[in-house]
Amino acid sequence: MQISKISLPLLSALGLLSAAGTSPLYERGYTVMPEPQRVTLSGSDFQFSSDWRLELGAGLKLGDTPVEALEEDLESRFHLRLRAQHAGRSVLRLSIAANSAMVGAAQDRDKQALASQAYKIDLAKQVVSITANGPVGLFYGVETLVQMLKPRNGALWLPEGQIEDWPDLQLRQIYWDDAHHLDRPETLKRAIRQAAFFKINGFALKLEGHFQFKSAPAIVEPYALTPAEFQDLTNYGLKYHVQLIPYLDAPGHVAFILKHPEYATLREYPDSNYELCVTNPDSYKLMFGMFQDLIDANKGVKYFYLSTDEPYYVGLANNSQCQEALRAKELGSVGKLLAEFIAKTANYLHDRGRTVIFWGEYPMKPDDLVSLPRHLVNGEVAGLEFDPVFKRLGIREMIYTSSEGEEKLFPDYFALPTSKRLHPETQSAQRVQDTFSQISDGSARRDADLIGMVNAGWADMGLHPETFWLGYATAASAAWHPRSPDPRESMSAFYPLFYGANTVRMDRVYQLMSTQAQVWADSWDTIQSIARKGIWGNSTGVYETRRPAHDQAITLPPAPESSLKYNSDWAERNSRRLQLIEEALPENDELTGLLHENLKRADTNRYNLAVFVSIARLYRQNLEMLRAIREMDGLLKTAFAAAERNQAKAALQAVDRALDAANAIQWARNSALVEARQTWYKSWYPRVAEANGRKFLHEVDDVKDHLPDRTTDMSYLVYREMLLPFGEWVERIRAARNLYALANSAPARKAKFDWKDLRPVSGSDR
């Protein structure tokens, strides 16, 4: 999905507010996300300990979610337990009472929905009370209290004062992408619980073939959630006031369906697996069956994501198996045909109790929107031309933001400066700042009937979802309390809340994780791919002939002749690349050191840091590989110089050192991949071609280029290296070396170099 950024001149013209100054709690040394709406601090700080007594108001009991969450969080974060039957003089009182927490100014017009999430906290040395209108608000009040507890000098502290809080938007959702991998159920539960901690109340889960569809068994992949597992996850989410929302694409982005021969007749175009034919009755039969399978295993949830994202070709097809063009002409436009598809599919879900969130976008135009059902929610505000029309029609909207788009290995939380880029034309996003601006200052606040925000962590580039949490939490924070705090304060608040108060320099960790990922991508060049089929079309239309996909590559040095004659200007031509590599290596040292230091210090989410360590290892392997190729180039020059002086032994030693360096490159690559696989599979099911009696059909998308689809396993992380003709180059070096050795009565180097072998190998083959 591509969403254009709002320009700064437009924001200025609209007269919208900028971020407020430092928040009152942060000034006092306390971190809370989201920042409460109204904070009044007085007096001094006071201690909170196990001497405090837990007092439950009428209708509350042990085991209720707010009470259980309080006990869980205090124990897991601070090793502290409170007792309801304790004789302590200080009291923590939880209570629910109608109209006890008021809602102030807010964007969302549904004040009743906001009131259900509102709460109030009174903080005094002897009594802390959390009061809410209902259980959701009380749960959020409890999480705020837990976040606010500040460890200092061996004790926990709270400030005197009062907090009154309510959300600006009732829905704060994240999109969790399990299309290209599958998280284990226990991992998904941890993620749902983590989301609730940051007051995220919607978890849109994209599974594609990772759900066991009864109605479409052909698409079910080797590891897939059962309906019972999906319902169990749903129930777990509902316990913590997080709706686990099914997410299903149509008519575009359905290669996971249409690549299968069983469904090839449903294609809009016979030679493209990207888009479904919307005039084929069997398309609806398929979709309705899949809808029903999902909602049957997702009882208790209100919403459903019908992702009508990027349906580029709706209404254009006129071929033997799909005649959309005629129907579009009858309706008056291709946009009205898309609206007809949306109405048919959304009405099915609506009739079964679901509120459908869809993407209201191209090829629809403002005049086409009247054909849409009014019960829809548009999942992406659409700008000055569209939003007033949606509002006039009574269709509510969500602000769409993203924590990840097309970045490799790690999101762009920080930008790599142009001065440190090999390809300066490449631009970085700044995910937290961009999200803050979209939510706080976008024109939709004026023109749309807003109900919520969704923040997407797209996994099209194969990132680990542990990398998305900074984006998820800060987006939810902005949707709860827009324009405050400043996004940098929000980021700084995230680190101790996510990892614990003992971690150090986490802002620097995230900066280095971001910029090192950009160096990883920038250090290679983009070329036309000869390894995969061409791309069938793009957002502007169908190509007359397929256009090449793109891969990353680097140019390798030449190989020596049989006399070891070697003429290379590779180092000179790559001087800028090599300079940037040398600058990045010390930063990788710093990053690795900080990660290991914080692994010792973190109280929570250590696995997140372990994932970061495995990614930093991939960064390092790339840097060292490029440096080692420079070393090999230098050794081949040394060998030639020795050969010219008739120093055969020295010449062969230099070539052998170059070949040893090649083996070391392969060993480092394979070891980094093994580490990533071992670490990531602690939370993922394996990516395999066959398991549980099911096979994965490996067929790439005809329109979209998804990096993890390049391979059936984790080797997509080193895919560009696998394509590099490094093995052929090394074998040419070995062949030249052996011819020279034969001419000088020296033994041959017999072991062949197999670059495609991904098993860890020794540093030398001799």
Nearest Cα residue to 198 out of 150, 237, 149, 144: 144
Say which residues have a Cβ less than 8 Å from residue 586's Cβ, sequence separation at least 6. Answer: none
Number of helices (H) and strands (E), helices first, in the chain? 23, 23
Residue 418: strand, helix, or coil: helix
The domain over range 171-485 is classified in CATH as 3.20.20.80 = yes
230-279 residue pLDDT tens:
999 999 999 999 999 999 999 999 999 999 999 999 999 999 999 999 99
Residue 54 · residue 145 · CB < 8 Å: no
Residue 199 · residue 140 · CB < 8 Å: yes
The tokens describing 122, both together, are 């009174």
Q: What is the pLDDT of residue 711?
A: 97
Domain 38-165: assigned CATH number: 3.30.379.10
Residue 375: strand, helix, or coil: coil
Quote the CA–CA distance of 417 and 671 in Å, as a whole number.
Answer: 30
Other C-beta atoms lying within 10 Å of the C-beta of residue 415: 18
Alpha helices in 697-745 (DSSP H): 719-723, 726-743
Nearest Cα residue to 108 out of 34, 166, 35, 37: 166
Other C-beta atoms lying within 10 Å of the C-beta of residue 530: 9
The tokens describing 221, both together, are 């992949």
Quote the CA–CA distance of 372 and 338 in Å, as a whole number.
Answer: 9
Q: What is the pLDDT of residue 17?
A: 40
| DSSP structural state of residue 724 | S
Quote the CA–CA distance of 317 and 139 in Å, as a whole number.
Answer: 51
Length of the chain: 766
Counting as low any pLDDT under 50, the low residues of the chain are: 2-18, 763-766
87-114 residue pLDDT tens:
678 999 999 999 999 999 999 999 999 9
Residue 535: strand, helix, or coil: strand
Residue 571 · residue 581 · CB < 8 Å: no
Nearest Cα residue to 212 out of 202, 225, 200: 225
Q: What is the pLDDT of residue 86?
A: 64
Spacing of C-alpha 185 from chain mean position? 18
Each domain of the chain, given as residue ranges in start order, spans: 38-165, 171-485
Q: What is the pLDDT of residue 20?
A: 58
